Structure 1
Amino acid sequence: MVDPSLSALFKVINKPLNDLYDFVKKETKFHLEKQKLNDISGKLESKIENIKKVKTIYKGDEAIDLNLFYYPPYINSDKGYIKAETIEDISLKNFVIEGVAGQGKSILLRYLTYREYQGEKRIPIFIELRKLNEKAEILSHIKEAISSWVFSVSDELLNWVLKSGKIVLLLDGFDELKEKDVSNVIKDLESISQQYPQTQIVITSRPDNAIQSSNFFKVLSIRPYDDDEIIGLIRKLVDDDDSFDNLVNALQESPLKVDELLKTPLMVTLFVMTYRAKLIIPDSLSKFYEELFSVLIYKHDRTKPGYQREFKSNLNESELQEWFEILCFISKNENKLIFNSRQDLLECIKKSITKKFPKEDPSALLEDISKNLCLIIRDGNNYSFIHRSIQEFFVASFFKKRPQDLAEQTYKLLDEKGKKYKSEIRFLSEIDSYRYKKYLLKPSLECFFEIYPNLESFKNSLNVSLEEGYDVYHLEADLDNSHETVNYVEATISMVDITQTLDDKHGNYLYHLLYDHLISCREASSAIFINLNNYGVNRFMQTMPILDHEIKINKVSKFFRNENSNLIDNIYKKFEKQLQECKVEIDNQEDQSFLDLI
């Protein structure tokens, strides 16, 4: 018995098929019996089903209809940011959909393909660029795709099909092309665009690929998820109303900085998986990641009768996590968030197993971490961490597990490389609180109060600099745009004297600590500029162009010290409180350790 939904689909497909048939028949000697259109419809329907069915990390190896879980993102279109529902809504021109790893580019293109079928105007041809033939000839691949449902396609027929305006090309994964093929593919695509303007072309790609430089394509980027999209996707993933309500309520009450984490469909999916496995929402990003690894292990290693463990390596859960932490540390140390090839990643894995796991097969570990756990994902020819903070957290976890006799040395090195390991230090403040406070926070604050024993000496040390060559009128413009004020503050304020004074004694860490307190606080930044605006920015700025750079610095520095004295007072008092709390916690921890020994 034919599924009623498939019968309806046949009718949808037959409309553009008949239009294409009638157009081509007028222009060529092409002959096809009308009844054979039903055969073609059947083949196209099969292709639609293949495009609609995808495997996800949420369902594992089970291929499911994307309509059951997909929530369209927003994309910048000809009309501004709109929900990506149809190609026609987005643009009538050729365009590239640009998005980072995990942002759902391929799923979006599959979704747009299916919606194009439903539109009953054109036949979409979906092609994965990584599957191009050895010669990487786009036209021959299009011909092959059409031949799979029209039996055979001559060059003449292909020419008229492309001129008909009855098809649209959807090409997935430009960044997955081999480097040697990129220039030829771009040349072919530009030739098609010029020769067949009636055929629209839509391409997906990661940022900074060569196709984005082509004048024949607009570049439209996917917008990171906002709160409504997060909840919309959760609704798709969680069927049960009670579970959905509990998760959303817990999410809204959680101190976890959702806006910094759940930017992509992939991260929202991982978040839901973690919640459903543990039935709680972690109260920090650290706890989220601590739970994540075991959740992903559990998903692939369930206790079912006769279940064959899927992992390729011989490591158990704790060993696999320990190895992954080493891999994260080595890749971070080499400044690698993205690996340019499979071999590039394998080389890094080989370094990670040298001492601790010398008997493990690098290829097996690559399979486990990329296909089973999906913490590193393939994106074209490249491999990348699903999120920068994944690498950062597990590097922090690596530091946390360093032996006690190396702890002080470890934190000293972290201080010296404070800029590079700033995020890791934040994670350590949560997951290795005692050693973080004993070996980094306490000594750094004591150093600060040794150099600045009173508030006045601290105030006098602050410096606020205007960058050389910076047009001061830009500041006035920034003040009229609240969105830009924080960017301006972050770009132009530096604590030069403090950095120089503390350079040899916890200078890097304290600099970042001060910067976080004084600069990155949005409320503080806004307050500063409100005060500056009230001070009379127009009058203030009118005097600036005639002053030399050093005088400009002195005037602005004086303003920040005098007009925002309370802000600086609060920072100093906060440091005093932090040091006191730090000492108490360290003492309590060491008292408890002593009792444990007894």
Structure 2
Amino acid sequence: MVEPSALALLKVINKPLNDLYDFIKKETKFHLEKQKLNDISGKLDNKIESIKKVKTIYKGDEAIDLNLFYYPPYIDSDQGYIKAEKIENISSKNFVIEGVAGQGKSILLRYLTFKEYKELKRIPIFIELRKLNDKGEILSFIKEAISSWIFSVSDELINWVLKSGKIVLLLDGFDELKAKDVANVIKDLESISQQYPQTQIVVTSRPDNAIQSSNFFKVLTIRPYEDDERIGLIRKLVNDDDSFGNLVKALKESPLKVDELLTTPLMVTLFVMTYRAKLIIPDSLSKFYEELFSVLIYKHDRTKPGYQREFKSSLNESELQEWFEILCFISKNENKLVFNSRQDLLDCIKKSISKKFQKEDPSALLEDISKNLCLIIRDGNNYSFIHRSIQEFFVASFFKQRPQDLAEQTYKLLDTKSTKYKAEIRFLSEIDSYRYRKYLLKPSLENFFRIFPNILNFKSSIHIDLYESWEHPDEDDSDDEFEDGLKKYVQARINIVDTSQSLLSKRRNYLSNLLYDYFTSKKASTAIFRNLKNYEVNRFVHSIPILFEDIPASKVTKFFRKENSGLIDEAYQNFQKNLEECLLEIDHQEDQSFLDLI
């Protein structure tokens, strides 16, 4: 028998609780005193109010209403990608919201909780799975969550509540569960799904967790931010119309690859913070990251007169950045963009503490970089860089800081490992341009002209590989479908082979990457594939009733040389121009250095 006090859950002022009360009253024949209803109504309102108050990097330690800054992303749904504003519009089934670090999974779930509450149809019960009790029993955890805003809950009452269809469970951070609890929680959630199909369950998780394999849950992904979401979030963060207009205009005109960089709410927020601190839009990714570190320090040190620094370590700004560069280099060398646990990150931090920083506490450094600067963020049990390019830029900065007497040796190492450090080399071409040109670009281009002293020699060395099968196309395939399929089949890799060395077969040096980048650039590859498509299509493709894989690579190579001769000439001439410009820039830099000495 259910205790009357427990039924405080069942009738309060708003409609969903009245509906739930009517359902359970009919089944259990219990009633509730008016005074207790009023008490519980206030508790429920307070609970929802606390759920929508969050701390952000933008406002620091101040907890603010998420409606003041949150701009919902698009999410996969039963009808395709839609703006994630209501659970009922996303799906009527149980589903997992899947997203990577920085996409705001937890805030999205809080937002959906608040929106559900305002819909006055169901009672949302928001639960952080990282706080799961030691027994790992989700049902008892649900009871605890409900008990936080009513007096007590019995097993019988829970049974009727879950049968009512008047609540929705919102479970945040499946990936934050302890490993030992995962199997039991999945088992319990599947049991709830079977026994109480009227109760919808929504879960958030990073990709590749066990919950995504359950047949009782659909997996719906958060779409990376696009222009409308970026601008929508900026509008929330920047109240001043002039500042908003200037920022959006500058963003649209910026040479930054915003489509690749500003794909999460976190990265857009950091971008706005940088702009508001410097009042300029960086014209390159390098300049953005060069400003970012000091902006994040600035936010903590100089936002208020007399504000005392709250960093845990004793390092100043330049020292903290110097240490972080070492951490980035070590983690990159170990192929770690994501750390599987706090201890995993601490182990990497310990390796990064050089003699200069040997007095620093690894835990303090972890707190500074994850909670104060947010360059590495906690997402469940894992820690990860907020964006791959953060790690890449500060690795490049680490290389830039190597002493001049080690510069040539450093760039020779990068030459032999240019595929692994491709992004870092791109950053170095901007932030360490003189040494990059002198010790990497110049030797690579000079090597090219030693191997290929003329265009004819270059042309005769080019081959195209065919790889992975592609099913025979239909006659009525659209141009785009045909081109996409062909791109999957014809590998846009040019093998430059010389008797003394193979540059591209293993893609093991910087020159190989220069060649690869040129021939697989959008402009070049589009021309190649367009011409391939138009080249006697009936004979080359449609007359072949079997898989494309039977076409000899030599046939494609011959066609490439014949039909794209101008493209090959252009590549050769482009390299000649690059070498001339490189030599002039090196001379200019060395002359400037001489003037500086005077």
> How far did 1:471 drift?
3.5
RMSD (Å), alpha carbons: 2.2
Q: Note if 1:67 corresponds to 2:67.
A: yes
Q: Distance between the aligned counterparts of 1:533 and 1:292, measured in 2?
A: 46
State the distance in 2 between where 1:546 and 1:66 align: 57
Amino acid at match of 1:362: P
Work out whether 1:99 is the aligned partner of 2:104.
no
Q: Distance in 2 between matches of 1:170 and 1:483?
A: 44
Cross-structure match for 1:573: 573
Partners of 2:494 and 2:519 within 8 A in 1: no
> Hey, what does 2:510 align to over in structure 1?
509
**Cα–Cα, structure 1 residues 486 and 515, in superposed 2: closer, same or farther, change >3 Å?**
farther
Q: What CA deviation, in whole Å up to 9, does each residue of 1:69-89 have, x standing for no partner?
A: 111100110001100110000
2:348 equivalent to 1:358 = no
For residue 8 of structure 2, what is the aligned residue in structure 1? none
Match of 2:116 in 1: 116
Q: Distance in 2 between matches of 1:420 and 1:400?
A: 17
Amino acid at match of 1:575: F
What one-letter code is carried by the residue in structure 2 that aligns with 1:126?
F
Residues 180-579 of structure 1 mapped to structure 2, 5 A cutoff: 180-302=180-302, 304-467=304-467, 470-471=469-470, 473=472, 480-481=479-480, 485=484, 488=487, 492-498=491-497, 500-502=501-503, 508-519=509-520, 521-542=521-542, 552-579=552-579
- The Cα of 1:547 is off from its aligned counterpart by 10
Q: Residue 201 and residue 292 in structure 1: after superposition, are their counterparts in 2 closer, same or farther (change >3 A)?
A: same
User: What is the rounded CA distance, in whole Å, between the counterparts of 2:489 and 2:470 in structure 1?
Assistant: 16
Deviation for aligned residue 1:305: 4.0
- Structure 1 residue 490: Cα displacement: 9.1
Q: Is the Cα contact below 8 Å between 2:494 and 2:504 reproduced in 1?
A: no
Deviations 1:528-586 (A, max 9, x none): 22222222323211455679968610111112221122222211111111000000000
| C-alpha distance in structure 2 between counterparts of 1:12 and 1:283, whole Å | 56
Q: How does 1:120-131 map to 2 (within 5 A)?
A: 120-131=120-131
Conserved 8 A contact 2:76-2:82: yes
* CA–CA separation in structure 2 for the residues paired with 1:475 and 1:494: 26
Q: 1:85 to 1:378 in 2, by over 3 A?
A: same
Measured in 2, the distance between the counterparts of 1:478 and 1:300 equals 57
Q: What whole-Å deviation, never above 9, does each CA across 1:36-95 have from its counterpart, x for those lacking one?
A: 222211111101111110000110101110001111100110001100110000000000
Residue matched to 2:164: 164
- CA gap 1:293/1:422 in 2 versus in 1, 3 angstroms: same
Kindly state the Cα deviation for residue 501 of structure 1 after the two structures are TM-superposed: 2.6
Determine helix, strand or coil for the equivalent of 2:204: strand
Q: In 2, Cα distance between the equivalents of 1:401 and 1:295?
A: 21
* Structure 1: gaps of 5 or more residues: 1-10
User: How far apart, CA to CA, are the structure 2 residues paired with 1:67 and 1:37?
Assistant: 28
Distance 1:300 1:34 in 2: 49
Check 1:314–1:13 CA distance in 2 against 1; reply closer, same or farther (3 A cut).
farther
3-state secondary structure, aligned to 1:329: helix
Report the alpha carbon displacement of residue 493 of structure 1 after superposing the two structures with TM. 2.3
Taking the aligned partners of 2:483 and 2:328, their CA distance within structure 1 comes to 34
- Determine helix, strand or coil for the equivalent of 1:110: helix
Residues 547, 223 of structure 1: alpha-carbon distance in 2 compared, 3 angstrom cutoff: closer
Q: Any idea what the Cα deviations from partners look like across 1:216-266, whole Å, max 9, x if unmatched?
A: 000000001111111111111100000000001111111111111001010
Partners of 2:545 and 2:316 lie apart in 1 by 66
What SS does the corresponding residue of 2:14 show, helix, strand or coil?
A: helix
Q: 1:149 Cα shift?
A: 2.2
Letter in 2 for 1:480: D
Structure 2 residue runs of 5 or longer lacking an equivalent are 1-10
Kindly, what percent of the aligned residue pairs are identical?
A: 80
Name the SS of the counterpart of 2:220 in structure 1: strand
Relative to structure 1, the CA distance from residue 12 to residue 336 in structure 2 (aligned partners, 3 Å threshold; closer, same or farther) is: farther
Q: What is the CA–CA distance in structure 1 between the aligned matches of 2:486 and 2:169, rounded to whole Å?
A: 40
- Is the 8 Å Cα contact of residues 96 and 202 (structure 1) preserved in structure 2? yes
Structure 1 residue 460: Cα displacement? 1.6
- Go from structure 1 to structure 2 and tell me whether the alpha carbon gap of 1:305 and 1:344 turns closer, same or farther (over 3 Å shift): same
Judge conservation of contact 2:313–2:361 (CA < 8 Å) in 1: yes
Residue 78 to residue 20, structure 1, CA distance change in 2 (3 Å): same
1:80 alignment partner, SS class: coil
Instruction: Give TM-score, length-normalised by structure 1.
Output: 0.94
Give yes or no for contact 1:133–1:141 (8 Å, CA) kept in 2: yes
Whether the 8 Å contact between 1:486 and 1:526 is mirrored in structure 2 is no
